[in-house]
Homo-oligomer: A and B are copies of this chain.
Amino acid sequence: MKFEGSHILSVNQFDRSAIEQVFQVANQMVPYAKRQKRTKVLDGAIMGNLFFEPSTRTRVSFGTAFNLLGGEVRETTGMESSALAKGESLFDTARVLSGYSDIIAMRHPQNGSVAEFAEGSRVPVINGGDGSNEHPTQALLDLYTIEKEINYHGGSLDGLHIAMIGDLKFGRTVHSLSKLLSLYKNIRFTLISPKELAMPDSVLSVIENAGHRLTITDQLEGNMDADICYQTRIQEERFPSQEEANQYRGKFRLNQQIYTKHFQSKTVIMHPLPRDSRAEANELDNDLNQNPNLAIFRQTDNGVLVRMALFALTLGVENLVSQYDCDVHWYSNKSK
């Protein structure tokens, strides 16, 4: 895959070698994210951060990643402040706004909108989420986190056992992650969800065509030897009736007690965030915060690394980054 000048729109663009290239560049970004040093490789470059749908975490992560490479960010948030509301086509918006920056990160509530926008853009566009369709940087940061965590425990992506739990029907992240994982060898998927929220056939066929092991269940039980437990939120309004929602209530939540009962002690817990921490939600209990295998905040930290890597690769500076190194003078807890 040629990154320089390319749009990043879908996980389907990536083969294993492209993923490895992203991860290798992401690894080089660690000292910058830790504030051990900084780089000015993109000093003078401008990133257009277009969030036509709110997402604080993803928006700030993209912006920070670009700043950490030395670049500037011009931000647009909300639909109402956009000419789109006056009937401007995505093509026109893209043609105009791409004149104002060197690269664009974009989120939009409508499926396919980012690809349509990219058609009109004169600069590379990175999809930051288009409706229920794609969110490739999330899938890449999830996979990057899995590899780091599993390497820490002495394992590798090939041969991984992942349990995906919760709403596997509407959860965009588990679909994309499943496709990326399917590029590796001998993966074991344990898919745990209410029957109404099962993984779609389109994703199952990708897994099966690649010859991976697949277990589908609606019970979270048994001494499971998953390496990764990827938890997602179940929204009760997804069920056809409240009765059906009620029969599953609490059955897919994860807390320390359930973790101890069902998983091996080194199983890594992941979640795309945000997690709902209200008492009635409890998809991932706060009592897991002390669990060293809770990787959810390492996931968001890794998101900065992966987005830095994608910016560097699409702008063709991945081999120049350290040429523009500078010192960090200020206090940082991150460098410790």
| 0/1 interface trace, chain A 44-59, chain B, CB 8 Å (1 if under) | 1110100000111101
Contact A68 B46 (CB under 8 A): yes
Contact B74 A63 (CB under 8 A): yes
**Nearest chain B CB to A145 CB, angstrom units:** 13
Bound Cα distance A101, B331 (Å): 12
Bound Cα distance A275, B95 (Å): 12
Bound Cα distance A96, B60 (Å): 10
Bound Cα distance A289, B93 (Å): 14
**Nearest chain B CB to A26 CB, angstrom units:** 15
**Assembly of this chain: how many copies?**
3
Q: Which residue of B lies closest to A101 (CB)?
A: B64
Q: Does A81 contact B (CB under 8 A)?
A: yes
Bound Cα distance A107, B330 (Å): 24
Contacts of A332 in B (CB 8 A): 102, 123
Bound Cα distance A100, B276 (Å): 21
Bound Cα distance A226, B332 (Å): 45
Bound Cα distance A73, B102 (Å): 17
Contact A286 B67 (CB under 8 A): no
Q: Does A72 contact B (CB under 8 A)?
A: yes
Contact A102 B35 (CB under 8 A): yes
Bound Cα distance A99, B61 (Å): 9
List A residues 262-285 near B (Cβ within 8 Å).
273-278, 281
Q: Which residue of B lies closest to A53 (CB)?
A: B81
Q: Does A140 contact B (CB under 8 A)?
A: no
Contact B92 A277 (CB under 8 A): yes
Partner of A317, one of B56, B289, B329, B334: B329
Contact A60 B83 (CB under 8 A): no
Q: Does A300 contact B (CB under 8 A)?
A: yes
Q: Does A328 contact B (CB under 8 A)?
A: yes
Contact B330 A64 (CB under 8 A): no
**Nearest chain B CB to A16 CB, angstrom units:** 24
With contact pairs A67-B46, A89-B277, A123-B333 given, residues A95 and B326 touching in the complex (Cβ less than 8 Å): no
Contacts of A315 in B (CB 8 A): 330-331
Contacts of A102 in B (CB 8 A): 35, 330, 332, 334
Contact A56 B83 (CB under 8 A): yes
Q: Does A192 contact B (CB under 8 A)?
A: no
Q: Does A201 contact B (CB under 8 A)?
A: no
Bound Cα distance A124, B289 (Å): 21
Contacts of A301 in B (CB 8 A): 99
7 new A-B contacts at CB < 8 Å, known A54-B80, A87-B276: A5-B333, A63-B100, A86-B274, A91-B289, A92-B277, A316-B330, A320-B329
Give 25 A-B contacts (CB < 8 Å), ordered by A residue.
Answer: A4-B331, A40-B44, A44-B326, A46-B67, A54-B81, A56-B76, A56-B81, A57-B97, A60-B74, A63-B100, A78-B81, A87-B278, A87-B281, A88-B277, A91-B286, A92-B273, A92-B277, A96-B300, A102-B332, A123-B332, A315-B330, A316-B330, A316-B331, A317-B330, A324-B329
